[in-house]
């Protein structure tokens, strides 16, 4: 009987603490995004109890595409938008985040003479590191498209060649957020 009572109190306590966490709700965040193809800074603002919209500026790179014969390596800069749905009102736990990124690209960041975009969706988990810090880790899929002038990898003759990518690819998400 004591075990049943203890188990009941434990479950009630866990449910109560989960409700207390959810009562805190979504908060605006300043974010550091370190995904597969970007390193950037962003701001996210809640618009409903379960949805927040983020905007970010970032450095972009596709160093990984030539490894898989999926496109050329470029670097650049850009901006993006990212609505995120959270299963919990606390903004922690399961999330789904579609995104769209517009990028200026070239062989190197200073020579960004081309344009491109990446769009996709992440599914992941938002972990609470402290009362103000969250870490989101996720994965998904994306579509990368760009074109720019430059030299493709391995080309040493000095001739300009069109650098391109038009490919689906995996997407990895790693976002550190500071709740304001």
pLDDT tens-digit readout, 96-146: 999 999 999 998 877 788 999 999 999 999 999 999 999 999 999 999 999
What is the domain count for the chain? Answer: 1
The Cα 14–Cα 58 span in angstroms is 39
Query: Residue 7 belongs to what H/E stretch?
Result: helix 2-24
Say what the pLDDT of residue 78 is.
97
pLDDT tens-digit readout, 20-62: 444 579 999 999 999 999 999 999 999 999 999 999 999 999 9
Total Cβ atoms within 10 A of residue 8: 10
Task: Give the CATH number of the domain where residue 84 resides.
Answer: 2.40.160.20
Say what the pLDDT of residue 112 is.
80
Name the band, by pLDDT with cuts 50, 70 and 90, for residue 155.
low
Record the tokens describing residue 151, joined without a space: 């030299």
**pTM score of the predicted model:** 0.81
The Cα 163–Cα 144 span in angstroms is 13
- For residue 154, is it left (φ>0), alpha (ψ between -120 and 50) or beta? left
Record the tokens describing residue 111, joined without a space: 């020579």
> Residue 159 pLDDT more than 90?
no
pLDDT higher for 11 or 92? 92
- Estimate to the nearest angstrom the gap between the alpha carbon of 20 and the chain centroid: 27
Containing structural domain, residue 94: 26-179
For residue 5, being part of any structural domain is answered with no
Say what the pLDDT of residue 18 is.
44
For residue 138, being part of any structural domain is answered with yes
pLDDT higher for 94 or 106? 94
For residue 39, being part of any structural domain is answered with yes
CA triple 112-118-119, angle to 5 deg: 160
For residue 66, being part of any structural domain is answered with yes
For residue 16, being part of any structural domain is answered with no
Q: Are 160 and 151 in contact (CB under 8 A)?
A: yes
């Amino acid at each position: 009987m004591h075990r049943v009572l203890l188990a009941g109190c434990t479950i009630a306590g866990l449910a109560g603490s989960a409700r207390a966490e959810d009562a805190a709700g979504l908060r605006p965040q300043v974010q550091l995004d370190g995904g597969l193809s970007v390193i950037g800074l962003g701001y996210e603002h809640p618009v409903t109890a379960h949805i927040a919209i983020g905007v970010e500026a970032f450095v972009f790179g596709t160093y990984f595409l030539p490894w898989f014969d999926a496109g050329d390596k470029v670097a650049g800069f850009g901006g993006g938008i990212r609505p995120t749905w959270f299963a919990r009102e606390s903004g922690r736990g399961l999330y789904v985040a579609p995104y769209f990124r517009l990028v200026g690209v070239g062989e190197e960041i200073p020579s960004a003479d081309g344009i491109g975009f990446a769009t996709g969706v992440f599914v992941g988990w938002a972990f609470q590191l402290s009362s103000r810090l969250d870490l989101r880790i996720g994965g998904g899929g994306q579509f990368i498209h760009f074109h720019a002038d430059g030299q493709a990898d391995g080309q040493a003759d000095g001739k300009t060649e069109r650098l391109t990518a038009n490919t689906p690819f995996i997407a990895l998400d790693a976002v550190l957020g500071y709740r304001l």
